[in-house]
Amino acid sequence: MELQTLISVLARRRRIRGRERWDRAELERHQASALAALRHHALTRSRFYQRFHRGLQSAPFGELPVLTKGTMMEHFDELVVDPEIRLTDALTHLEHGGDRRYLDRDVLMATSGSTGRRGVLLADRDEWTSHIFRRRGGSP
According to the model, what pLDDT value does residue 119 have?
87
Q: State residue 20's pLDDT score.
A: 82
State residue 37's pLDDT score. Answer: 93
User: Which pLDDT does position 9 carry in this prediction?
Assistant: 73
pLDDT at 39: 92
Report angle CA 39, 109, 114 to the nearest 5 degrees.
Answer: 100
Q: How high is the pLDDT of residue 21?
A: 86
pLDDT < 70 positions in the chain: 1, 98-100, 129-140
0.85 exceeded by the pTM? no
Q: How are the residues of the chain apportioned to helix, strand and coil, as percentages rounded to the nearest 5?
A: 55, 10, 35
- Residue 6: predicted pLDDT: 75
How far apart are the C-alpha atoms of 32 and 28, rounded to whole Å?
6
